Amino acid sequence: MSEVYELLLRAKEADETAMMELIDKFEPKIKKLSASLPATEREDMEQELKIQMIKSIEKFDIDKLSPFWSCYEKE
C-alpha cells in the first residue's frame, strides 16, 4: 500500500499527525502554485490551499477508492 494512501486512511480517522504529514508531502506543490502571486498574497493563498486540502480529505469517500487500490496491490 502506498504511503499516501496509508496517510489518507489515518487522516480520515482524525489522526492529526497523518493530516500534517499529508500537508507536508504536498507542501512543494502548494508553494509552486502560489509562486506566481505577489509576495503579499502568497502566504494567504498557501494557507487557503491547506484548508481546502483538509476539507477535501475529510469529505473524501475512501470506499470508492478501495477497488482501485486492490488492483494496484496485486500487480
How many domains are contained in the chain? 1
- Asked if residues 53 and 26 have their Cβ atoms less than 8 Å apart, the reply is yes
Range with the poorest average pLDDT among 5-9, 35-39, 61-65: 61-65
In CATH, what number is assigned to the domain containing residue 23? 1.10.1740
Q: Residue 67: which pLDDT band, with cuts at 50, 70 and 90?
A: low
Is the model's pLDDT at 51 over the cut of 70?
yes
Domain extent at residue 12:
3-74
Per-position DSSP letters for 17-73, written without gaps between them: HHHHHHHHHHHHHHHHHHTTS-HHHHHHHHHHHHHHHHHHHHH--GGGTHHHHHHHH
Q: Taking the alpha carbons of 22, 25, 31, 33 in that order, is the dihedral positive or negative?
A: negative
For the entire predicted model, the pTM comes to: 0.74
Rg from Cα positions in the chain: 15
C-alpha cell recorded at residue 55: 476539507
